[in-house]
Structure formats: C-alpha cells, structure tokens
Amino acid sequence: MRLFIAIELDDSIKKTITGTMHELKKSGVRGSYVASNNLHLTLAFIGEVENVPEVKTSLQTISYKPFKLSLSDFGNFGDILWVGVKGNQGLSQAAKAVRAALDQAGISYDQKKFAPHITLVRKAAGSWKAVKAPKGEMMVRKISLMKSSVRDGKTVYTRVAEV
C-alpha cells in the first residue's frame, strides 16, 4: 500500500484553491491539475508499505497542538506548480513530530527537507505570474495517514487513520 502522512484541507480552502486553479487554466497554464478532493499538504511521504498497522501505531504516538495554516505565494519545483504555506511554529512542530515518530518506529520515508506546499499542477507549462495566489487559512486539528491508489485511471487519496 502506498502511504503518506498529510494535513487534509477543509472545504473552504479547497474551494479557494480550486478557483485559483480555474484562473490558471484560463490564463493558459497547462499541465496535470490536481483534483480538488486530492489537495493536501504532505508532512511525510512513506511510499510502499506492507505493515500498515505499524504505521498506524506510530501515528498514534504523535503529539501536537492545533495550529493555523495560512496560504502564501505560488512557487515551483521544476515543472511542479504549488501554493506555499506560511511557516509557523505549529506546522513545523507537527512535521517534526511526524518524522520523529516514523524514525522511532523504524519506518522509512522520504528524507527531503520539509518544504510546506500544496501541489496544484504537475508538468506545468505556461506563466502563472498574472494570476494572484489564493489566500485563505484554516485551523489544523488532525493529521491523517493517507493511502494513494489508482481507480479508473485516476489517482485517489483515502484516509486510513488520523490523529
């Protein structure tokens, strides 16, 4: 099973981001747009795992306080276009807690430096400079263990557990 740990976005933020994605399309930005129900912020990408209960157990050891998540500006990693998230102590501590719990349990995950972002478009082409980045915020009260699968040729993310 392909897993990652993420912050699921509330409907208000998803709606705001989806509106911006429509503006990007209208301005000529091409690529593979993320489905609105798949928008999220990844805290740790785990990948293929056979022992899912072990990952769920490690998730239960995470401790964090609810915090505010606020959108910031657009950015990109090569041809991946994303909207950033304003850095804050709560988000940073949650990401550290997730990674520490995985380390403690001996569960391997992608060790790249945590760069908080929400992917909007993969294989993006065209300029997004004329489009204003979405603005919005939400309170984060849960962290989710998510499963990534493909159904009818489309990527689907499903919550497996939460804390």
Which residues carry out catalysis? Answer: 40, 117
Burial class, 91, CB count within 10 angstroms (exposed 0-12 / middle 13-18 / buried 19+): buried
CA 94 to the chain's CA centroid:
13
What is the rounded CA–CA span in Å between residue 25 and residue 141? 32
What is the rounded CA–CA span in Å between residue 80 and residue 144? 23
* 36-72 burial code (b ≥16 CB/10 A, e <16): eebbbbbbbbbeebeeeeebeebbeebebeebebebe
What type of residue sits at position 105? A
What is the rounded CA–CA span in Å between residue 18 and residue 100? 33
